Amino acid sequence: MIYWFFGYPGVGKDYIAQKFAKVADVFYINGDSLLLATEKKKIAAGTFTKQDRLKKLTRIAKYLKSLKKESAITDSLPDSTSRNFLLKKFKKHIVFIRVTTSKTKHLSQIKNRKGHFFTHTLLDTYIQKNWESIGDFPHLSFRNEEKTPQQLEKKLIAIYRKFSK
């Protein structure tokens, strides 16, 4: 099973997916680590296209299939083309988990990250240009607002138990 954590840049997808991977004992992949240097430059410049995204997702899907193990991965998946592409590739072997948080926490998190190619100054333009409505796309919503590590762990274990083999 692939557990794909998606949402706006800076909402805490990597943090949640890492915690999930730990409590569920699955392989963790930071989607940004699979970006090529040229792709990072295009994202930072605002010139990363849907075609670029599909090339990246094709590469990631091939990598995930080669692993042959349960994995938690992160990527923003801002458009329906990307989400539907992965749904077709993995069929019933993928769970999409949309990570959200409060606007205040989101802005704080993205402003405080250091050395990341996607800065807070890119956020509004990126969302306006790339993000499409989720509509009826099959996914779980996960609000990144837990007060204690135990609460977070409990919610993540429940997700894993619901979908694990």
Q: What is the dihedral of CA 131, 136, 137, 139, to 10 degrees?
A: 100
pTM, two decimal places: 0.87
DSSP SS3 for 14: helix
d(CA 31, CA 77): 10
> Would you kindly state where each structural domain of the chain is located, as residue ranges?
2-163
The CATH architecture of the domain made up of 2-163 is: 3-Layer(aba) Sandwich (3.40)
Q: For residue range 51-80, list pLDDT tens digits in order.
A: 999 999 999 999 999 999 999 999 988 889
56-65 LR contacts (CB < 8 Å, sep 24+): 57/82, 57/85, 57/86, 59/34, 60/31, 60/34, 61/86, 61/89, 61/90, 63/34, 64/2, 64/29, 64/90
Is residue 21 over pLDDT 90?
A: yes
d(CA 84, CA 101): 24
Q: Which of 27-41, 114-128, 135-149 has the lowest mean pLDDT?
A: 114-128
